[in-house]
Amino acid sequence: MDKDDEEIKFRDQCALQIAQAIIVANRNLISYSTGFDMKNIITFEDFQKLDIRVGTIIQADIVPKSKKLLRLAVDFGHELGVRTIMAGIAGGDASSAAVNLTVGKPRVLAIVNLVPREMMGVQSHGMLLACHDGLNNIVLTTVASAVPNGVEVG
C-alpha cells in the first residue's frame, strides 16, 4: 500500500469515527431534550425495509397458559390474505380482550415482513403496532378511514 492509499484509508477511518460520534451525540441530545430514551437511530433505508400494512382483526383467541397472549387472525386483503399474529395485548383479562377485538374488528397496522416467530407453540407472522397509554393499558394503532386491507403504510 503506497502513501496515498494509507492517507485515504486514514481519512475514511476518521470520517467513520466522526459519523459514529455524531449519531451518538444526536441520540443523546434527543434523549436529553425530550426526557425519553430512544432506541438506536436508523437510516431511512432501514425504515423502508419495514412492510407495514393495514389489516382487520377478524378473530381473537385466548392462548391457554398465557396471561396476556392472544392468537389473532388478521385479514390483510387479497395479496397477503389472513395471517396469524400472536400479540401480548390481553392485559389482565384475556377473555374480555378477545371478545372486544372479535366484536369490534379493529383495523390495525402491522409489520408483515418479520421472520416468523414461534410463541407458545404457534407461528406468528407479523407484529401489531401498539403503545402503552401510561396507565399500563395497551392501545393498538388503528386506522379510522375506509382504507382497504393490505394497503402499505409509508
Verify that 56 and 29 share a domain, yes or no. no
Verify that 104 and 148 share a domain, yes or no. yes
Verify that 25 and 50 share a domain, yes or no. no
Verify that 103 and 146 share a domain, yes or no. yes
Domain count, the chain: 2
Verify that 21 and 68 share a domain, yes or no. no
pTM above 0.85, yes or no: no
Euclidean distance between CA atoms 23 and 30, whole angstroms = 11
Q: Where are the beta strands (DSSP E) in 8-133?
A: 52-62, 69-75, 82-88, 107-111, 117-119, 122-124, 127-128, 130-132
Verify that 62 and 10 share a domain, yes or no. no
Q: Tell me the average pLDDT of the chain.
A: 80
Model confidence pLDDT, tens digit, residues 46-102: 889 999 999 999 998 888 888 888 899 999 999 999 999 999 887 666 556 655 666
Around Cβ 63, how many Cβ atoms within 10 Å? 20
